[in-house]
Structure 1
Amino acid sequence: MIPSGSISTVIENSVATITFSHPASNSFPSALLQQLTNELNTLDQNPDVAIIVLKSEGITTFCAGASFDELLSLTTLEEGTKFFSGFANVINAMRNCSKLIIGRIQGKAVGGGVGLAAACDYTFATQNSMIKLSEIAVGIGPFVIEPAVSRKIGKMAFAEMTLTPTEWKSASWAKENHLFSEVFESLDELDIRLNNFTFELSGYNKTALIEMKKVLWEGTENWNQLLHERAAISGKLALSEETKLALQKFKK
């Protein structure tokens, strides 16, 4: 049985903090992706929330992306498309959410984890927050998250990451390429800055913040369709024997 993981939310002083957790390096099975999507949609409608912080448990890994166990269990195109649509739904929920989303990227991010960071409106990271897009190495590709990642870092930097799937990019590289907004030497420094930032931001005019969110995401109106088309591509590739073998090897 694939572990389910958890999603929890705490609301304090108009700031909602969503914490996700999974024993496999904070990876996402489809059920957890659906929970995160639902939570984002709920907070979007909560008038008491001005800002959302997205974070994960632990200190070494922000998010390891898709659940390899579930990827290996896929047997039909419908299952594959549905699984990758989970990340599409989360990114679209983040995009459509009227509240600004601040990412606390405390550790490494791989694959879908990079996509989550890219879908945040502002991100805080530490020097340990290295990133990698490993999808090509396991026979698929970062098709679903590409629009979100390319929107932040550009096509050329995206190509650099995608075509070197075994190489980690540093937090400094991520900041230079606009995936991370601010990078800190320690997690303590990050959290102090994050708390001060969200406290100040949540005190501003809520309507102005909502309108700014719309401005930040102009030009992405076709993503509801685009990301699900990309999910079908990934879902088909995930069924190939070549990908199954690569996933088994990669998992070990």
Structure 2
Amino acid sequence: MENLLLSVSHYEEEARRKLSQHDLGYFAFAAGARETMKENCEAFKRKNNHCLAQRFTKDAPRKLTELWRFRPRILKNVSRVDCSTEVIGSKIPFPICIAPTAFHRMCAPEGEFCTARAAESLGVGMAVSLWSNKTMEEIASEVPNCIKWCHVQFIKNRIVTEHFVRRAEQNGFKGFIVTIDEPVFRNRTHRYEDEKPLKFETSIVSIKFVEPEEPAFVAFTSWMDGSAEWDSIDWLKGITKLPVVIKRILTDKLWF
């Protein structure tokens, strides 16, 4: 029990203890002025989050501090609780999965193998990032029973995107998770104590698989497709029979 991590802050403390300053900087610091990250953190620090849920009217103030409220149901039989659900066609024991994140080898020498084993041990799903340190083939071979989804971003050369789709299909992936809010490479303003910016010093095998002679960061930024629109989703759905899930939809007005 001594080493049990009970909250997000515990995981953050453990990461600070185990990771180098460089690697921690990649995972802990967001892009730009980090406003979105700050707001996300504030949203889960509400006081009195057990009070009655507040319903907004058109005249009610929509302050950040009023966004999250939980209204518990009292005197309900909770002696047997079933948190299981279904995500993208796969049954999982509780509704928490591993989102696509890059460069797992910054945290452990075996990279995505470790993450996939953790997901497999819990029976939950893992989305393998386009910017992973292990190939889809390697992960499928090493951890065959993990529920796997393939992360997709629209690339200028659609032949390359289709290449990833076919590999995912051939290696037992259950669907695609599409990032739609990064048409250009985001600007990371974080600097270390020596004033040096973040550098991608780890191997991006997804890029090396397609462009082995190109420096990883050059290829990484050149792949970004600023011309992608909603018909790109239709195109993706048209080349595969697997489910396609769109990530980072913020509002129902997003397409206007």
Q: Same fold (TM over 0.5)?
A: no
TM-score of the two chains, using structure 1 as the length reference: 0.28
The answer to which structure, 1 or 2, has the higher relative contact order (CA under 8 A, 6+ apart) is: 1
* Higher share of residues assigned helix: 1
Q: Which of structures 1 and 2 has the bigger CA Rg?
A: 2
TM-score of the two chains, using structure 2 as the length reference: 0.28
